[in-house]
């Protein structure tokens, strides 16, 4: 047993996984435990739009037209959020990056800040189980967008766009895989373990 001081757990984090794997739930729990902000692109968009920032007005013009917000706008919003004081000691990104181009953009932002990612947490989930889980959620909350067809489409988009990120982060040695199908408590415990130095 080494007598050196234990190293602090990883604090600059990214959580990825298919829709319905429980990322939002786990991100909130882990961020609270580590006293770091959970930063989701959805929240960043809503904040910028509601505060009518320059980027928010621009993003809203795309959303109102039913178009995807371009990477350049999303990247600028994330860059601005990561530069805020509460993210100086760490953060947990959820929902960004989604594409290899965004990985490159994030690398650039973190290089500017001098804060590389410590860990990428991958919640693995069985597609059929996730579809059932999201259908049940749709019935409970009355979400009309949670049909089997749209859910499977979102899973396919994730597989095409986001799965390649897993390879990138795995090659860097910072990816940790966690079974997202376990109970909420067990998943949190496994993520905690994955953050250990």
Catalytic annotation on 79? no
- Residue 40: phi and psi, rounded to 5, are -110, 145
Which is catalytic among the residues 46, 139, 143, 172? 143
Catalytic residue among 12, 23, 29, 133: 23
Going across the sheet that includes 12-16, the strands are: 38-40, 91-94, 12-16, 119-124, 175-179
In the chain, alpha helices (H) = 23-34, 41-50, 54-64, 71-82, 100-113, 127-141, 148-161, 163-171, 184-194
**Annotation marks residue 154 as catalytic:** yes
Identify whether 23 is a catalytic site residue: yes
Q: 46, 137, 139, 172: which is the annotated catalytic residue?
A: 137
**Contact 156/130 with Cβ under 8 angstroms?**
no
Q: Point out the catalytic residue in the list 11, 98, 177, 192.
A: 98
Residues 29, 81, 154, 176: which is the catalytic one? 154
Cα 4 to the chain's mean position, in Å? Answer: 33
Separation of alpha carbons 195 and 197, rounded Å: 6
Active site residue 137: yes
Residues belonging to the active site: 23, 98, 137, 143, 154
């Amino acid at each position: 047993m080494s007598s050196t001081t234990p190293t602090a757990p990883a604090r600059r984090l990214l959580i990825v996984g298919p829709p319905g794997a429980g990322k939002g739930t786990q991100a909130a729990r882990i961020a609270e435990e580590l006293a770091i902000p959970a930063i989701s692109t959805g929240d960043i968009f809503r904040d910028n739009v509601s505060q009518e920032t320059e980027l928010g007005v621009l993003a809203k013009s795309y959303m109102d037209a039913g178009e995807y917000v371009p990477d350049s706008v999303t990247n600028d919003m994330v860059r601005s959020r990561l530069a805020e004081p509460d993210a100086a000691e760490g953060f947990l990104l959820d929902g960004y990056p989604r594409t290899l181009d965004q990985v490159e953009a994030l690398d650039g932002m973190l290089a500017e800040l001098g804060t590389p990612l410590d860990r990428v947490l991958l919640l693995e989930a069985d597609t059929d189980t996730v579809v059932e889980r999201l259908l049940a959620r749709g019935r409970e909350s009355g979400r009309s967008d949670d049909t089997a067809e749209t859910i499977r489409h979102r899973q396919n988009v994730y597989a095409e766009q986001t799965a390649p990120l897993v390879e990138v982060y795995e090659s860097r040695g910072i990816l940790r895989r966690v079974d997202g199908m376990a109970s909420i408590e067990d998943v949190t415990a496994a993520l905690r373990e994955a953050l250990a130095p």
